[in-house]
Amino acid sequence: MQQHVLIVDDDRQLTSFLERFFKKHGYRATSAASCAELFAAVEKDRFDLIVLDLILPDEDGMEAARQLRRSNDVPIIMLTARDELFDRVVGLELGADDYVTKPYEPRELLARVRSVLRRHGRHPVPDPEVGGSPTNLRFANIELDLVKSTARRWPDRLDLGLTSTEFALLKALAGAQGNVLTREEILHTVYGNSIQVTDRAIDTHMVRLRRKLADAGADADLLLTVHGVGYKLAAMVQAVTGEQLQGDNPH
């Protein structure tokens, strides 16, 4: 099922472009040009994320965010031409999940949207054969325990000894569903927005992660480098529920 993004900005040329951009990348996208249109859209439809401009013609975006938070836990990314620290802090304190300053590259906004959706569990690995919420992900001979944040070889359950960063990186790659994760997406998803991380640090973590996967007998091409772009997981991912895990371990 496609994730549904609501873009709230009074620049209709911009929102029209962003609607096409997000649809091109596999999302449903709807736009609103005012707070009134925003609340009318929220009343009528369900959204997985809202991109909310801070400056709107009928009401301040921060006040709109405050009202949304009273009755809705939908993730919010603030979008504004202002880059004042006070505005960012207040926006985040009101419940915004991220903050993007104009001008920006559309791919940067896309990376932030993907990152926030993953953090909120609104971007799961789809598996029509699985009912309920997945607790584990399996691919190749590897199993990720999403509850304990551990990785092990499957089916003998040998722990891979991943660090928290290595686990987050592998989980993000699995969650990308075979798509390439750009370095920017990795920065936002794995390391967060508050930490300065170099490309070299990402490469170093990838080298260590590949080494541990190889020690567990994983294929050398399980994690692929897409030069100039990022990384991808070259394996089908199966989402597993707790009920299925009980079936794997009969008493």
Supply the pLDDT for residue 234.
93
Q: Over the chain, what is the mean pLDDT?
A: 82
Residue-level pLDDT at 86: 47
pLDDT tens, 55-86?
A: 899 988 888 888 888 878 888 998 877 655 54
Residue with tokens 């989402």: 239
Nearest of 229, 133, 219, 124 to residue 176 by alpha carbon = 124
- pLDDT value of position 128: 39
pTM: 0.53
Residue 219 has pLDDT above 80, yes or no: yes
Residue type, 152: R
- Residue 118 or 110, more confident: 110
The CA–CA distances, whole Å, from 204 to 31, 166, 200, 211 equal 40, 10, 6, 11
Quote the pLDDT of residue 88. 56
* Domains along the chain with CATH numbers: 4-119 (3.40.50.2300), 134-248 (1.10.10.10)
More confident residue, 212 or 98: 212
Q: Which of 10-14, 93-97, 180-184 has the highest mean pLDDT?
A: 10-14
Residue 125's pLDDT is what?
Answer: 43
**For range 214-241, the mean pLDDT:** 90
φ, ψ dihedrals at 62, nearest 5°: -65, -40
What are the beta bridge partners of residue 223? 233
Task: Give the length of the chain.
Answer: 251
How far apart CA 21 and CA 2 sit, in angstroms, is: 14
* Structure confidence at residue 15 as a pLDDT band (50, 70, 90): very high
pLDDT higher at 233 or 242:
233
The pLDDT, as a whole number, for residue 90 is 56
Residue 83 confidence (pLDDT): 57
